[in-house]
Amino acid sequence: MFLMTSRMNLEKDGISRKSDLDLKGIVFVIQSQSNSFHAKRAEQLKQSILKEAANLTQELPRVLLLHQLSKQEGAWTILPLLPHFSVTYSRNSSWIFFCEEETRIQIPELLETLRRYDPSKEWFLGKALHDEESTIIHHYAFSENPTIFKYPDFAAGWALSMPLVNKLTKRLRSESLKSDFTIDLKHEIALYIWDKGEGPPLTPVPEFCTDAGNSHCATMFHSFLPLCGNPVKKEDIFFAVKTCKKFHGDRIPIVKQTWAGQARLIEYYSDRAESSIPTVDLGIPNTDRGHCGKTFAILERFLNHSHDKIAWLVIVDDDTLIRDPVGWRDSQDMRPSTAIVASPLTLAPAFVFFQWHSLKEDMACTSSCLRDLMVFSRAAIRRLLASKCRCYSNDAPDDMVLGMCFGGLGIPVTHSPLFHQARPVDYPRDYLSHQVPISFHKHWNIDPVKVYFTWLAPSEEDKARQETQKGFKEEL
């Protein structure tokens, strides 16, 4: 009797264990990037999915790479692509399943999981995350009880039923997206789908996992730092710390107490030269926001005054904490002396997506440079400065200006979720648990030295992980 009642409740909620679903009913979308290393990793995952599927059926699923679906840089925000999914796949497909390039999928388990949900209904499925306290990166949403709103962990994979895709497509066609920038995509997609209670909330799916140790999982996620090459040498990285006079006394000592000791080449740039630090006065007055003038002055100084053999420039705020630079790795596909010359690289968190509307055209531009931590190859800086693309004022937002400049040059900006624009307390613990973070930002209401030694300082575990990685054989 209990089993019958449970089954009736499941069917009432649209969940059925008898849904007829095969692989051709699932469209796999890998949230890939155009950078050659990441594109290669995504292609490897695609081939892995197809290979496993071929062992199960003769009709293979469609596996798409996000960066190949549109020439618009804004495609990474996913919502603009939903009309394409609706028009192209709604007739023959039941689900759009999204995942990251390092997500591992067990196809039979994924099929069994999705079969529990009636594909004729609107479903938004994923591994649920929630804020433990209201946070600035989510504009303090649900401040009275931030735990009530759930959003997906992209690393575990997430899925939209086709009826929901079609509904969202109609909405996108009838009203433009209200926000012209993106800070945390997974949270903002969940907000858009929920639509103030008019749309479905995220349904937590226990089989969507980031813990590789659970046998019930349909998806898993590798938490290693990418094993993409040899460690970058200390003498190949130049660190430029942005500061100003009012922070010389409290922030600079923390930089020196924490990560600065691991840097071979480092300078502090301020609005006043102070020999005791020492700081370099760039001749740019301090601004309360934007900092574009200072950032471009640092780029020009690096290109014109630093040794030509220094491959990488890291621009970092004085209240940013970063992982030991010795652990950073240099990919064969991202090496600045080879492929990077042809395809220069900037590396930073995807932060802003905005549109510049003119009378003649709409130009979508992705700015993935965050002011608290930006990493550039020398080749990227050389092309940027040769282009004459510059700040329109000293206090212009440097992330937006740089994004527009690099976008105009066709230089891809690579996103790393391991760079964080806020403090550890601003992220769900479950989200950070499968990461090896590279940076955190801000000293508000925390002990920054403790944060550094808890999350970022070299440890015996880090050393053991590096040794493990040396012998780690990729499964793909």
Whether 345 and 372 share a structural domain: yes
CA–CA–CA angle 317, 320, 326 (5° rounding): 105
For residues 320 and 448, the answer to whether their CB atoms sit within 8 Å is no
Q: Give φ, ψ of 280 to 5 degrees.
A: -110, 125
| Single-letter code of the amino acid located at 127 | K
Residues 184 and 331 placed together within one structural domain of the fold: no
Residues 284 and 332 in one domain: yes
- Token readout for 21 is 């679903």
Q: What is the CATH number of the domain that holds 150?
A: 3.90.550.50
Domain that holds residue 308: 229-470
Q: Quick one: 428 and 461 in the same domain?
A: yes
Expressed in angstroms, the distance from the first to the final Cα of the chain is: 46
- Domain check: are 216 and 235 in the same one? no
The CA–CA distances, whole Å, from 314 to 176, 262, 302, 310, 361 equal 37, 13, 10, 11, 34
Residues 393 and 412 in one domain: yes
Find all residues with CB under 8 Å of 443, minimum gap 6, and list them. Answer: 251, 254, 319
Looking at the domain assignment, is residue 289 inside a domain? yes
Length of the chain: 476
Judge whether 154 lies within some domain. Answer: yes
Asked if residue 475 belongs to a domain, the reply is: no
Instruction: Point out the domain boundary residue: 221, 242, 277.
Output: 221
Gap between the Cα atoms of 474 and 476, Å rounded: 5
The pLDDT, as a whole number, for residue 309 is 80
Query: Given 172, 199, 221, which residue is the final one in a domain?
Result: 221
Residues 366 and 336 in one domain: yes
Q: Is residue 69 located within the same domain as residue 203?
A: yes
Tokens of 122: 């609107």
Domain shared by 214 and 306, yes or no:
no
Confirm whether 8 is domain-assigned. no
pLDDT score of 331: 43
Write the Ramachandran bin of 306: left for phi over 0, alpha for psi from -120 to 50, otherwise beta: beta
Nearest one of 144, 166, 154 to 85, comparing CA atoms:
166
Shared domain for 324 and 399, answered yes or no, is yes
268 close to 294: Cβ distance less than 8 angstroms: no
Of 181, 196, 221, which marks where a domain is finished?
A: 221
pLDDT at 337: 37
Cα 460 to the chain's mean position, in Å?
Answer: 27
Residue 14 covered by a domain? no
Residue 280 located in a structural domain: yes
| Global pTM value | 0.85
pLDDT tens by residue, the chain, 476 residues: 333 333 344 444 555 444 568 899 999 999 998 888 889 999 999 999 999 999 988 789 999 999 999 776 567 889 999 999 999 999 999 999 999 999 999 999 999 999 999 999 999 999 999 999 999 889 899 999 999 999 999 999 999 999 999 999 999 999 877 665 678 999 999 999 999 999 999 999 999 999 866 778 999 997 666 556 666 788 889 999 999 999 999 999 999 999 999 899 999 999 999 999 999 999 988 888 778 999 999 999 999 886 678 989 999 999 999 987 655 554 444 444 322 233 455 665 544 333 333 322 333 333 344 557 888 989 999 999 999 899 999 989 888 888 889 888 888 788 888 889 899 999 999 999 998 898 999 999 999 999 999 999 876 655 555 555 444 434 44
91-106 pLDDT tens trace = 999 999 999 999 999 9
- 56-to-17, 24, 179 alpha-carbon distances in Å: 20, 12, 43
The helix/strand/coil state of 376 is strand
* Claim to verify: residue 344 and residue 446 sit in the same structural domain: yes
The answer as to whether 9 is a domain residue is: no
Distance in angstroms (rounded) separating the CA atoms of residues 96 and 86? 10
Residue 237 lies in a domain: yes
Per the structure, the count of domains in the chain is 2
The answer to whether residues 194 and 257 belong to one domain is no
| Each residue's pLDDT tens digit, 75-133 | 788 999 999 999 999 999 999 999 999 999 999 999 999 999 999 999 999 999 999 99
What pLDDT shows up at residue 305?
A: 81
* CA dist., res. 100 & res. 112, Å (int): 21
